[in-house]
Structure 1
Amino acid sequence: MKMRWPAVILAVFHLWCLSAGVYSSPDGRQVSCRTLPGESCEVPAWKENAEYLVLHFFAEEAGMLELNLNSGGGAFHERFPYSPGEQFKILPLRNFRRTGTPSWEKLKAVGMTPAEGKKILMIGSFFAVDQRIPFPGLLLVSRVNEITPVGTAYPLYGIVSSDVYPKQLLREKDALQRHLNTLTGIALPQKENAEHSFNMILLGKEAALKQNALSGKELEKQGFNGFTIAVKCSNLVIAGESIQGTAYGVYRFLETQGMKFFAPGVHSAVGKTNLLNVVRAADRPFFNGKRAPGRWCVYGDESGFALADPRNAGIDAVFPGDRTQWIDHTSAFLVPKKYYYDEHPEFYCLRADGTRMPKDTQDVRVMLCQSNPDGIRAAAERALRWIRKNPQHLLYVIQQGDDSERCVCEGCEAKRKLGWNETDLFLNWVNGIAERVGREFPRKYLLSYAYISTQPAPEHLKPAANVHLLYAPWPNRLSAPNGFRDFDAPENIVAGSQLADWLEVSDPEQLGIYDYPAGNSLTHRGMALRLKWLARRNMRGSIWYCGTNRIFASMFTYVQARLCWNPLLDTRALESEFIEGYYGNAAETVKKIVASVYDRLDSDPLNNGRVPSEAFFTESFVKTLIADFAAARKLSPERVRRELLHDEYGILENGLHACSKNPASAAGAAIWKRYLEIATANPHTDWRKICDSLWTLAKIRCEVEKNGKMPSLIAEMIRNPQQAIREHRQTVFVEKRPNGVRISPYAFEGGMAPVFYHWKCPGRLAVAVRGTMTEQYRMKAVFPLELLAPSELVFEGQSCDKLFVPPVPIRITINGKTVFEGGNGCRKHGWTLRRIRIPEGVLRPGDNTLVFENLAKSDSRVSHWFMIAGAEIRRVEE
């Protein structure tokens, strides 16, 4: 919208003054005005049914204005404060004091007196029937109401922003300018430096500080992620201590103007208006560190800003690693093997077998000695260089590699003998770095994890004050296997107990969680419950999600980000407002789908894991789900139709896992049919992955065509899934051999799912059993025998790869009779061939049952396992 100022002003306003005085506005227009005090004013023309008198003026300084309007039988009086800058004052006629019997229609003279020594430039005045101001530009308005006796409207002429934005976030530098243009139709110019002191939008820390609109202490009070929105000296100020905080302030301001975002580019409908409401607010998120990922427009934690990435630290001419390390395992970055290994091998983990961690260990697996003072000092020096080079961040990860090895050097063992647990040792290392960092950077935080061996709370040490400690309720460790519930759920008692222990030794503001809602998990509400669980205990540290949920991903991001800001919000209300704002005409149908999935998960005690039970996927549920998704796609905006197809695909994939034991059931067949229909319609489908899924989840062999096209079996399964599954499903995994039978890993039930295992050993298809505190401590296979003869059990086995874990004891039974019990006798990092003679009378004609049991008392799925690459029953020649 172009502003033709002089013509508009003269046409609209009944001017009090047309003398030689001139007001030069920030947009360059020249407007006649009268300087007060010193010049007389003419009376504005009365307007029928007027309720307000509006004054338009400019002031260099703040002050109080005395206004006296003389009438035939008396006078009207008003006194009110004003700010520096150009402004409109909206004065309700009912609020004027009266002397005598004055009449608004018979005004004769006007007297206006600024505070002593102050001057104002009077531009114009008029009577109005309401608070609308006929002005062609953008106005920031504070309206008259029961609390505000005098209204104010400030013209806004531009945006001043001099904060520096990294390359990946440059799109946010002009976000306010773009969104205000959408909201108002007015494109405010944006500059890095303010040419005028008044009537601007001061955006960001630098602009606010340069104009003395906010102090550094005011910004620091709200923290790295917080913001302040204020009106100072006719300027609108939106600023945070960081550009991330400023961005949240921008979107909070836009929300108050009726422009609420549900995803990037998706916001509530807005009507063009040049009026912006005054907002005064200061806010910050409940969790004060890293939070749920997402764009700033939904209060998500933009990746790569609050959290520093060591891979982009820029402190080495050539990055000194193999790039396998992630953003969250930094040991190899802090003590690079390239710099230290040859001269200081003692900085690295001494393994239980007496060997030092090899130099060729992948960076992501590097484990450091946690007691060597020189090694800790080296890590701290690198951490300081990292922060000095990248001071714009809040959090820097200080964490060992993604491995369970532990150092058994003299220093570490001496501390264990003092009663230190693995967490104490870990904190000895972390705190040693934190102490040095804190001296130079007291407002930066180091991020570390209570992960695997460090999940239990420490016995002797506490995290340093500048350490954020994230508890990792890793589902594979079974500290919190129930992703649909919080940590009070009976299944999650280990995590709940360990978190309670951490609260005993730590400031709750330092504690948070590192959780796992990724992929096609349906744990969306479960994560919400966990955030509220933390909030009830005032645990305000960081929230880190290892990946994000791919089913209703935009809703997941919106709800989780909002709850991380304010966990008191209602989860279902957030779901509802998102669906209504995001899916358009399909909103009610999508609500039905969400309810049919998540409400049933909430109420069904059988669905207490990461994948719903088979009973969840009834035939009627599956058919209704498919029909509802089809209806939703027809009604929805084009931009979300592909998302809805992806959501349907993900839920169906959950169904394939749930029905994997009975894929030919009515529900299972319906799921496979629709799943394959979606895959067929996608020109980018990787048929190798589909064939892998058919084998893994239905035990159907399907070969990919040489030209990469859809295998013919897929069409057969779509036409008649039940018949095709029954015909092609492999159910026998015992192979008859001349001297006995071969039992495939696929024949075993109860242990972990068969995998191709090749960690530091020749690859084998294998199956494993975990400790007795897991559900996978026992596995069995049924095999037939026709003839009885002296026989032996033959298998290749392997012990848990962790060197600090001794070989676990096992029990092997056949038909309920023990044929072996004791140490498993198998090596680590390789396969050991075992032969066990089967006593006479154990085997029988027909079906026999072979059982392997792990006798170790452990809840871990990371350690204390025992694995076999199948088994054989062989006849023994006498």
Structure 2
Amino acid sequence: MIKKTSFYFTLVMSLLFSSCQARQIQLTREGRSSYSIVIPAAATATEKSAATVLQSYIRSATGAELPVISEPGLQSAQAIFIGKCSVTAAGKFDKARDDGFSIIQSEDRLFITGSSGQGTLYGVYYFLEKYLGCRKYDAGPAVVPRNPQLQLPAGISEVVNPDFIYRQSYYPMSNDAEYLRWHGLQQFEDLWGLWGHSFFKLIPPSRYFLTHPEYFALTGGQRRATQLCLSNKDVLQLTISRLKEMMADNPDAVYWSVSPNDEGGYCTCELCKQTDAEEGGPSGSLIRFVNKVAAAFPGKNITTLGYGYTAAAPRKTKPAGNVYILVSSIDAFKEQPVSTIPSAAAFRQQLAAWSALTDHIFVWDYTTQFTNYLSPFPIQHITGPDLAFYKQQRVRGIFEQGSGDTYSDMAELNSYIQGKLLWNVNVNTAQLTEEFCKGYYGNAGPFILRYLDARTRALIDSKRHLDIYGNPVTDIRGYLSPEHLRSYNQLLEQAQAAVRGTLYEERVHRVRLSLEYATLQQSRHFGVDNNGFLADNGGPFYTIRPEWRQKTDALTALAKASGVTELSETGLSPEAYKAEWYSILDKQWPSNPVRGAAVTLQNSFVEDYPAKGKATLTDGMTGFTDFSYNWLCFYGQDMIATIDAGKEINVSSVALNFLEDQRHWILPPVKITIALSTDGIRFTEFKTVTPAPLTQKENIDIIKITATGAQQKARYIRVTAVCPAALPDWRSHPSKKPMIACDEIFVFP
């Protein structure tokens, strides 16, 4: 015991008075090592785990087994100290903040020390990457280069602090515990006791609305279960009581959300209205309410959403010291960085206003196409600039919402880039992407890089928007044109050929999955035209192109093998997608006798969803349940379309469809009138159809309209579909109007 104490005293004194001479550390030689891994006498679980991880990877890389010992048992100066050892504190080597870490050499000793949380473990993984060349690209095993002669450079002295205290990249890779720790990422399930839109999780309408409607929002002159009434004192007490119960069940949670529900419908009672008038908007009622909740829990962090109707900061009230504001970039398109793109102008103003009130700001950002997870979505060029902008704006945390638990376009690369940049926004994204592609795709890497560059350049050159709620059809005139898709496929064919028969080939297949998906989806738009799934053989019905069933089967199998569980947010599984395609391929597709006829419109269609323009109505292709596929939309105005058949034809019936998608404010017309003319000047009414009265529904319907009458001669067929004058009460919105959508006008003799 005397010898051990004497050695330890000598070691501490050498640290205090040594000149910290820079020398190389020969950690292993011929698979052997004289080094030990030292942990504190009362090591935490994180410190023990960090030591075990370091020991395991050094063994895999070099063949050497470094013993893990407790600090009091140290007998050699050659050691790697893990965590908050006494000798670490004596040497003042614990210099990091938040959950950062330091890696510092002193003569023959190396110190890997985290500030708090899992910082020490993050430091070990950083050490493995930088000094052993290890990589963790996805949820599979890490890449560990063999090196029996492991020598560390002289003068290691690094302090690494994260640029953000909350760092989440929401992709499937993060479901792997080691991937999460390796990249220093977090999950909201581990940090939040209550997450997201939480009002009705705290005070559910199913329990309270019938007996206490006053707890809920007064909107449109009635109490409705849309939001809570934040001026009601009982609502405050119930919220506090419910949080106390939840906190008792989950005492380790760092954050608790007290946030409005999605959509609108905030309270306009006299008290709430008065507060909002003083504060310049409904965020005033929210922040005053949340501050009162936070005051009841001074040792807890309360988060709330600056999103939707609460996006603008209040005029007067500052968030309390334990309140965090989670703002959203949901309205920003993705072809340019958020710092410059015009669609984010309002968001930038809102963020600046919140930053003037508090430095407790998190950003809810979006990095995938939620309506089509597999669609090619080139965002890699904006990730670095966006995160640098957020840091500049004093943002403290980022939720990068990708595709969650399901695979999406370039998910591995997106997660990898985000993981690095969330720690250090100054990392060179281009170099990082090149390193990833070479490591993850092997000899296919150069072709993958060319593919990524080609689609980014095509996006920028198109001068079109990249929308998180877009689809492959929206971009058919831009970076996903058939010409571009052919070019991309050629690059990926070369990539596949370069790695055929190796483990890298499967990874290239996952990249190609996005192109196969885009091709299938676009074929619904093209229909009978080139690149469509139908062929016109001159009969009463179109025929299915024979290769399409095989394409569907191949994509389904690859999607399942790649870990795709749903193709959009709360959308179809691969098997359900296959079944949907089979129903499309199994049905009869009637040909339109006036296919290709000229169409004139009295009112403009919605340019954001152009389909094939006015030609949509006679292209021979009907629509699907997604309003951006073959539907011509008219916002707040009637559809008045006149078809010129080119010559007089017999008309005995006119058939057409209208979409009903109440979630997107798309409603059936209130009346459809068909009129006929031989000269295009004088029209006579053929038939008027009035659809059934509108009722509230959640599902999407296609309303089929057929107008049948006595056969008449006509060259011109005019359809007038009257748009509803207003939204129904259950879908009211202060800035929305009804929209009608028509897919095809069939004219039968």
Aligned to 1:450: 306
Q: Say yes or no: does 1:229 pair with 2:85.
A: no
Partner SS state of residue 363, structure 2? strand
Distance 1:280 1:374, change over 3 A: farther
Three-state SS of the structure 2 residue aligned to 1:559 is helix
What is the match of residue 335 of structure 1? 203
**2:442 alignment partner AA:** G
Letter in 1 for 2:36: L
2-structure distance, mates of 1:645, 1:213: 48
| CA distance in structure 2 between the partners assigned to 1:343 and 1:197 by the alignment | 72
Aligned counterpart in structure 1 of residue 696 of structure 2, from 817, 820, 829: 829
User: Which residue of the other structure, out of 243, 259, 283, is the alignment partner of 2:133?
Assistant: 259
8 Å contact kept, 2:4–2:73: no
Q: Which residue does 2:410 correspond to in 1?
A: 552
- Report the CA distance shift for 1:848/1:494 in structure 2 as closer, same or farther (over 3 A): farther
1:402 to 243, 246, 262: 262
Q: 1:179 to 1:793 in 2, by over 3 A?
A: closer
User: Is 1:574 aligned to 2:414, yes or no?
Assistant: no
1:517 aligns with 2:361: no
2:299 corresponds to 1:440: yes
C-alpha contact 2:669 2:740 (8 A) present in aligned 1: no
Are the counterparts in 2 of residues 268 and 581 from structure 1 also a CA contact under 8 Å? no
Deviation at 1:557, TM superposition (A): 0.6
Separation (CA, whole Å) in 2 of partners of 1:566 and 1:287: 9
1:784-823 maps to which residues of 2 (within 5 A)? none
Q: Deviations over 1:664-712 (max 9, x none)?
A: 55556799699547337659695651353588xxxx5436xxxxxxxxx
C-alpha distance 586-302 of structure 1, shift in aligned 2 (>3 A): same
Q: Summarize the Cα distance change of 1:527–1:754 in structure 2 as closer, same or farther, 3 Å threshold.
A: farther
Q: Does 1:679 align with 2:555?
A: yes
Select which of 33, 36, 46 maps to 1:156: 36
Distance in 2, Cα, partners of 1:844 & 1:460: 67
1:850 aligns with 2:697: no
Q: What's the offset of the Cα at 1:644?
A: 2.2
The one of 317, 326, 340 aligned to 1:470: 326
After superposition, the C-alpha distances for 1:783-811 in whole angstroms (9 at most, x for unaligned) are: 7897899x999999989679xx9x99999
- Could you state the TM-score of these two structures normalised by the residue count of structure 2? 0.69
Q: In structure 1, what is the equivalent of residue 56 of structure 2?
A: 178
Q: Could you say which residue in structure 2 is the equivalent of 1:368?
A: 228
Report the equivalent of 1:708: none
- Is contact 2:8-2:75 (8 Å) kept? no
Partner Cα separation in structure 1 for residue 345 and residue 122 of structure 2: 36
| Aligned residue type for 1:163 | T
Change (3 A) 1:795 1:417: farther
Q: The residue matched to 1:349 in structure 2 has which SS?
A: strand
Give 1:454's aligned amino acid.
T
Distance in 2, matches of 1:585 and 1:196, equals 47
Residue 554 of structure 1: CA displacement? Answer: 0.9
Shift of the 683–844 alpha-carbon distance from structure 1 to 2, 3 Å rule, reads closer
Is 1:599 paired with 2:457?
yes
The one of 713, 738, 748 aligned to 1:866: 738
- Within the alignment, does 1:347 sit opposite 2:224 as a pair? no
User: Is the deviation greater in 331-340 or in 173-182?
Assistant: 331-340
How far residue 182 of structure 1 moved from its aligned partner, in angstroms, is 1.9
> Residues 523, 307 of structure 1: CA spacing in aligned structure 2 closer, same or farther, 3 A cutoff?
farther
Change (3 A) 1:754 1:673: closer
Ranges in structure 2 where 5+ consecutive residues have no aligned partner:
534-544, 562-573, 596-610, 686-690, 708-712
Paired residue for 2:159?
A: 282
TM-superposed CA distance for 1:660, in Å, is 4.6
Distance 1:286 1:553, change over 3 A: same
Deviation string 1:522-557 (CA, Å, 9 cap, x unpaired) is: 042244443233234343433331535711211111
1:188 corresponds to which of 62, 66, 72: 66
Residues 639 and 346 of structure 1: is their aligned pair in 2 closer, same or farther, counting only changes over 3 Å? farther
Q: Is the 8 A contact 1:748 1:779 kept in 2?
A: no
Amino acid at match of 1:254: L
The answer to whether residue 492 in structure 2 is matched with residue 629 in structure 1 is yes
Residue of structure 1 aligned with 2:506, choices 642, 646, 649: 642
3-state secondary structure, aligned to 1:464: coil
Is contact 1:198–1:235 with CA below 8 Å preserved after alignment?
Answer: no
SS in 2 for 1:60: helix
**Residue 711 of structure 1 aligns with which residue?**
none
For the 8 Å contact 1:511–1:540, the answer to whether it is kept is yes
Q: Secondary structure at the match of 1:448?
A: strand
Distance 1:500 1:271, change over 3 A: same
Question: Cα distance 1:309–1:792, how it changes in 2: closer, same or farther (>3 A)?
Answer: same
Q: 1:179 deviation in Å?
A: 1.6
Q: Would the alpha carbon gap of residues 155 and 59 (structure 1) be closer, same or farther in structure 2, given more than 3 Å must change?
A: farther
Larger Cα Rg: Structure 1 or Structure 2? 1
Q: Which has the higher contact order (CA 8 A, sep 6+)?
A: 2
Q: CA deviation at 1:162?
A: 3.7
Identity of aligned residues (%): 19
How much has 1:266 moved relative to structure 2? 3.4
Classify the secondary structure of the residue corresponding to 1:267: coil
By how many angstroms is 1:591 displaced?
1.7
- Classify 1:339/1:497 alpha carbon distance in 2 versus 1 (closer, same or farther; 3 Å): same
Query: Greater CA deviation, 422-431 or 378-387?
Result: 378-387
**Is 2:283 the partner of 1:423?**
yes
Letter of the 1:352 counterpart: G
| Secondary structure in structure 1 of the residue aligned to 2:443 | helix
Q: Check if 1:461 corresponds to 2:317.
A: yes
SS in 2 for 1:614: coil
What is the CA–CA distance in structure 2 between the aligned matches of 1:428 and 1:308, rounded to whole Å?
A: 22
Residue 262 of structure 1 deviates from its aligned partner by 4.1
Contact 1:228 1:282 in 2 (8 A): yes
**Larger mean Cα displacement after TM superposition, 295-304 or 747-756:** 747-756
Question: What amino acid is the match of 1:864?
Answer: K
Q: How far off is 1:177 after superposition?
A: 2.6
Tell whether 2:323 aligns with 1:495.
no
Cα gap change, 1:306 to 1:255, in 2 (>3 Å): same
- Looking at structure 1, the residues matched to 69 and 26 of structure 2 have their Cα atoms a distance apart, in angstroms, of 29
Query: Displacement, 1:248?
Result: 2.0
- 1:506 aligned to which of 331, 352, 357: 357
Letter of the aligned partner of 1:407 in structure 2? C
Distance 1:256 1:267 in 2: 13
Work out the CA distance in 2 between the residues paired with 1:811 and 1:289.
53
Q: Which of 529, 532, 539 is the aligned partner of 2:388?
A: 532
Q: Secondary structure at the match of 1:577?
A: helix
Asked whether the 8 Å contact 2:198–2:258 carries over to 1, the reply is yes
Aligned partners of 1:172, 1:195: CA distance in 2, in Å?
18
The AA in structure 2 aligned to 1:829 is Q
Query: Structure 1 residue 576: deviation in Å?
Result: 0.6
- The residue number in structure 2 matching 1:755 is 625
| Secondary structure of 1:380's aligned partner | helix
AA aligned opposite 2:135: F
1:285 deviates by 1.8
CA distance in 2: counterparts of 1:770 and 1:246, whole angstroms: 58
TM-score, normalization: structure 1?
A: 0.60
Cα displacement string for residues 437-476 of structure 1 (whole angstroms, at most 9, x for unaligned residues): 3x224xxx433222222223333433333333232232xx
Q: Structure 1 residue 579: deviation in Å?
A: 0.8
RMSD of aligned Cα (Å): 5.6
Quick one: structure 1 residues 618 and 350, their matched pair in 2 at CA, closer, same or farther if it must change by over 3 Å?
closer
Q: 1:577 to 1:830 in 2, by over 3 A?
A: closer
**Partners of 1:541 and 1:844 in 2: how far apart?**
65
CA deviation profile, 1:338-385 (whole Å, cap 9, x unmatched): 87667755433345352442xxxxxxxx73222223322332344355
Answer whether contact 2:39 2:48 (CA < 8 A) is retained: no
Q: Do the aligned partners of residues 234 and 870 (structure 1) sit closer, same or farther apart at CA in structure 2, a change above 3 Å counting? A: same
- 2-side partners of 1:242 and 1:64: how far apart? 26
